[in-house]
Amino acid sequence: MTFTEAFAQLSPDDQCKLEGALTACGLSLTDVEDLLTLRIVLEGKTFDATIPTDFAHSLWKLQLAYYRMVGTILHNSPTAVLSAEEKERYKLVFRIEKGSTDGSADLWPSLCSLMENALEKMKPWQLLAAVALCAGAYVGGEWFAYLSEQAKIEADKEVEIARIENDAEKTKLHNETIQEMFQAHREVFDAAYSAGREGRMSILKGVGGLEGARIGAREYDGEKIEQIKRRAARVKTESETRQMQVSVGLIDMRDKNEPHVYLKEKGQDFYFKASLAIDGEDEEDLSAALDRIWNAARDPDQSFWAEVSVTTKKDKIISAVVTAVAERQEDLPDTQGDSFEE
């Protein structure tokens, strides 16, 4: 069964509710079907109907990131040990186009199962809406930036509901419905976005000879890919790159050539030591980035988003390098403004 087929089984009233909720995010049924297919298109002289070993390895790292997403959503931990049944259920199967390196994986079966298990007591149309939002977050859809911004506005008590000339109240209702779902289950969609981004980065950083790429809803040219690789090269050890919402406990400036900060990830009760490797070439405003860290150090309740390369041992962070900081997750260097494109 596809998303469209599941939609057809809804009652006319529920179909109207789902279409309205999707429209509030600028999505159509066709858009959702596209989001539910993770497409990977690589450009380069070495990609001519072949599968390089570094690409195969990067796909495996993408799968591991997907498993961490499942662990976070179902078991509240990215390091949760999944059962053999769960690994099989949430395994991504890529189909490689004949005569090319282009691949695609159908996300519908695994995301539908994931939402059914994670979000209980939902009506069928709400479940389909959650699947659509999760797919959009994972492949990097622009709706995530929209909802993130709207959630921020809501928190600041500055809500302005968009209105359509002849259907104002219905539009208001649909916007509120999707906002309520997004905010009530924000951790689910955040986990999906983070896993999707980690998977994309594993391909862009790990595959050699890339001159361009399209992964999910994101497109990268050669210059952007080189920028991402250059940022990754500053980290000396092989590590996992995470996006974290952090607060600052202490800044250690005893070594001015290599300052360190002690950070605490939101939801955790311990600090970890991290060095700073923020390059002015990759930050539009390096001074503002450093000011953000200093301001957070002065106020223990203030937090910001950081791109951190971490090395772990037995689930404990043993080393970390901060490569970028931003006020919002969508403002980290792999994104560009309001379009939320990497």
pLDDT digits (tens, 9 = 90+) for 289-321: 788 899 999 988 899 999 998 887 667 788 888
Quick check: is 212 in a domain?
Answer: no
The reply to whether 299 falls in a domain is yes
* Structural domain includes residue 89: yes
Domain assignment of residue 84, yes or no: yes
What confidence tier does 168 reach under pLDDT thresholds 50, 70, 90?
A: very low
Read off the pTM.
Answer: 0.66
Q: Is residue 222 part of a domain?
A: no
Are 183 and 40 part of one and the same domain? Answer: yes
Of the three residues 193, 218, 253, the one that is the final residue of a domain is: 193
Using one digit for the tens of pLDDT, what is the confidence trace for 40-72? 999 888 776 667 788 888 999 999 999 999 999
Q: Which residue has the higher pLDDT, 223 or 277?
A: 223
Q: Reduce the DSSP state of residue 240 to 3 states and report it.
A: strand
Same domain, yes or no: 78 and 182: yes
**The predicted structure's pLDDT at residue 161:** 36
pLDDT score for 100: 66
pLDDT value, residue 159: 38
Do both 119 and 243 map to the same domain? no
Decide which of 134, 158, 193 is a domain's last residue.
193
63: left (phi over 0), alpha (psi -120 to 50) or beta: alpha
Among residues 124, 134, 133, 139, which one has the least CA distance to residue 216? 139
State the average pLDDT over residues 252-280.
Answer: 81
* Mean pLDDT value across the chain: 80
> At 279, which CATH number?
2.40.50
Residues 324 and 183 both lie in one domain? no
Residue 231 pLDDT class (50, 70, 90 cuts): confident
Q: Which residues form the domain of 252?
A: 236-333
For residues 24-32, average pLDDT: 84
Count of domains in the chain?
Answer: 2
Q: What stretch of H or E contains 241?
A: strand 240-252
Angstrom CA distances, 54 to 8, 47, 207, 337, stand at 41, 12, 5, 31
Same domain as 149, residue 10: yes
Torsion of CA 92, 93, 95, 96, to 10 degrees: 80
114 and 26 in a common domain? yes
Adjacency order of strands within the sheet including 94-96: 94-96, 103-106, 37-43, 212-215, 218-221
Other CB atoms within a 10 A radius of the CB of residue 302 amount to 12
pLDDT tens digits, one per residue of 123-157: 899 999 999 999 999 998 765 655 555 444 444 33
pLDDT the model gives residue 321: 85
